[in-house]
Amino acid sequence: MQLDDQSIVASVARQYPSTVKIFQRYRIDFCCSGNIPLADACERAGQDLQEVLTDLRELARTEDSTGWDDKPLVELIDHIITRYHDRLRQDLPALGELARRVATRHGEANPKLREVETVFARLADEMLTHLRKEEVVLFPMIERLENRAVLNSDDGTPIPPIDGPVAAMEDDHREVGDFLARLFQLTDQFTPPSSACNSYRGLFQGLSELEKDTHQHIHLENNILFPRAQQLVAQPDPRPLALS
Ligand SMILES: [Fe+2]
Ligand SMILES: [Fe+2]
């Protein structure tokens, strides 16, 4: 893959998964708004295009480019659930409790911590509902599409169109991205003051990790899983036509 100023950010992240670290370092959006040329993305993020390109090329040179493009979707879904969804269900309540404690203890000195607590609570609610919708509605539809198109095994009952659920999940992702951007602002880019106690530091560290993980999680869904599932819909049904 030719890497230049017109390379699409989401495609680079898809082909060379480790470049995600570079996009995160430069705060270039590769998940929710990744379908734009690198030059535009750098301008949006206020970064030097040549510097970013040099780092990307260096990494891509040594990267094994076998990502999720060739693996079964059922494997990708399983990875998303075990690596991201299960971990969120475990981490969000603990992080919410930490945000509450830090806001109670230090909210008077820094009122922004109270807003951190509120924004985080809304983010956690939104995310937990979102995970359920994916696991109960969209992912099973994608698994059936793959069974039908690739394995030619399915019970034959109609599969509802996936475009609506995909668009709804993408809307949710944008909302989650907005909450994370707000937390980034409120916490001075997840930088605690030098006098901060361990809980304060732990909260900011946890929020920073949550942001990185969520960008990667959304990238796997928006840029790989959903487009590949939509391609399956475009394929003709491989089952033989009934003659009577
Ligand atoms: Fe997800
Ligand atoms: Fe999602």
Q: 109: CA distance to ligand 1 center in Å?
A: 36
**137: CA distance to ligand 1 center in Å?**
12
Mean pLDDT of 85-108: 95
Output the pLDDT for position 103.
96
Ligand 1 centre distance from Cα of residue 99 (Å): 23
pTM of the predicted model as reported, rounded to 2 decimal places:
0.83
Say yes or no to pLDDT of 1 above 80. no
Q: Which of 114-118, 198-202, 209-213, 238-242 has the highest mean pLDDT?
A: 114-118
| Nearest partner of 141 among 154, 128, 151, judged by Cα | 154
Beta bridge partners of 37: 8
Give 173 Cα–ligand 2 centroid separation in angstroms: 6
Query: Please, which pLDDT band fits residue 185 given cuts at 50, 70 and 90?
Result: very high
- Ligand 1 centroid to Cα of residue 66, in Å, is 21
Query: pLDDT by residue (tens digit) across 26-59?
Result: 999 998 889 999 999 999 999 999 999 999 988 7
What is the model's pLDDT at position 61? 75
d(CA 211, CA 177): 8
Residue written as token pair 């399956």: 232
Considering every ligand atom shown, identify the ligand nearest to the alpha carbon of residue 85 and give its number: 1
Give dist(CA 20, CA 149) in Å, integer.
31
Rg (Cα) of the chain, in Å, rounded?
Answer: 20
Mean pLDDT value of segment 131-154? 91
Q: How does residue 66 score in pLDDT terms, banded at 50, 70 and 90?
A: low
Q: Of 67 and 78, which is predicted with more confidence?
A: 78
60: confidence class by pLDDT, cuts 50, 70, 90: confident
Mean pLDDT of the chain: 90
The per-residue pLDDT for 234 is: 74
Q: What is the mean pLDDT of residues 214-227?
A: 94
Q: What pLDDT does residue 64 have? A: 58
Using alpha carbons, select from 12, 106, 1 the residue that is nearest to residue 52.
12
Residue 161: alpha-carbon gap to chain centroid: 23
Residues 207-236 have a mean pLDDT of 91
pLDDT for 63 equals: 66
**pLDDT tens digits for range 4-30:** 999 999 998 888 888 888 899 999 999
Q: Tell me how far the alpha carbon of residue 68 lies from the centroid of ligand 2, in angstroms.
A: 16
Position of tokens 């969000």? 92
pLDDT band at 65 (very low <50, low <70, confident <90, very high): low
Would you say 68 and 217 are in contact if contact means Cβ atoms under 8 Å apart?
A: no
Concatenated DSSP letters for the chain?
---STTSBHHHHHHHSTTHHHHHHHTT---STT--SBHHHHHHHHT--HHHHHHHHHHHHHH-----TTSS-HHHHHHHIIIIIIHHHHHHHHHHHHHHHHHHHHHTTT-THHHHHHHHHHHHHHHHHHHHHHIIIIIHHHHHHHHIIIII-----PPPPPSHHHHHHHHHHHHHHHHHHHHHHHHTTTT---TT--HHHHHHHHHHHHHHHHHHHHHHIIIIIIHHHHHHHHHSPP-SPPP--
Q: How many residues are given for the chain?
A: 244
**Share of residues in the chain with pLDDT > 70 (%):** 94
